[in-house]
Amino acid sequence: MIEPAFLDELARFDPSVQRRVDAVRQGEQRSTEVGEGLTFSDHRRYTPGDDTRLVDWRVYARTEELYVKQYEAERNLTVHILLDASASMDFGGDRTERATPHKFEFAAKLGLGFAALAAAEGNDFRVSLLGETFDRLDRGRATQGEVLRLIERCNEIEPSGETDFRTACADYAATIDSKSLVLVASDFLADPAEIEAGLGALQRTDLTLAHVLAPDERDPPARGDTIFRDPERDTRLRTYFGGSVETRYRDRLDDHRDAVEAVADRLGARHVPVDTGADFFDAFGEVWVE
């Protein structure tokens, strides 16, 4: 279960971390216009260097704190969060137990952290699930209130089926029409060729792959005669897990991870391995900061 309190800890991260998006840094995305003819969107805290003409003095009179008004024209960068919702992401234990890492929950927290920092910096965000195609979850309101609503929404999601990277990513890429940072959080348990075909449609964005794996996937607790189940195809395989079989399993998992990393390299994307058994904020820092 994702608890909203984790958002408070994001204050340790700089929301204006510099990223290249079409050779323009995120910290340089604010509009120089002062709102005439623009649509008011939200407030954010004043930071040194902000245009003082945007300070909302009525809010200051009530709170004695400086806030600046944000307008739609300021939101030139969009942060896109794509969460793999396939059955293989439903792994890691009981989601109601906080101490138990769960792949989809961990991935969703990474994405929601990106959304929260995007809103804090005055940028748009979109959150979608990847499956046979994509399913957009947000309502087009890039605010902290929307992040809280999305936490509740993600807590209701039950991962199922398979992710068609080729179709889902291509369909989603067709909706992108602005400077964009894209986070894909997934275990990428699919054919690397299909993954590359899908992610290739996102190649012109600032693309980051959060490659999420659980400790029990890297080091299965099973030993001896064991039945393994494929949650996406609902098939079972009985084998003796140990010795050479265990070695081949680890080698194939490492090879697959390397293949996904190679896909990222060819596409000019960042590939960040994420261990759901690690401290969440350590993992988030690895994904967020270049």
Q: Are strands 77-84 and 67-71 parallel, antiparallel or unpaired?
A: unpaired
pLDDT at 228 over 50: yes
* pLDDT, average across residues 76-99: 82
* Alpha-carbon dihedral angle through residues 126, 209, 286, 26, given to the nearest 10 degrees: -50
* pLDDT, average across residues 279-287: 95
At 109-132, the pLDDT tens digits run 999 999 999 999 888 999 999 999
Top CATH class of 4-10+75-288 equals alpha beta
If we measure between CA atoms, which residue out of 217, 136, 142 comes closest to residue 172? 136
If we measure between CA atoms, which residue out of 141, 190, 139, 148 comes closest to residue 167? 190
Q: Domain ranges in the chain?
A: 4-10+75-288, 30-74
Give 55's DSSP letter.
B
pLDDT band at 219 (very low <50, low <70, confident <90, very high): confident
**DSSP H or E segment with residue 213:** strand 206-213
How many angstroms separate the CA atoms of 69 and 90, rounded? 41
* pLDDT, average across residues 40-57: 80
* pLDDT, average across residues 242-250: 74
* pLDDT, average across residues 144-164: 96
pLDDT at 241 over 50: yes
The predicted structure's pLDDT at residue 20? 36
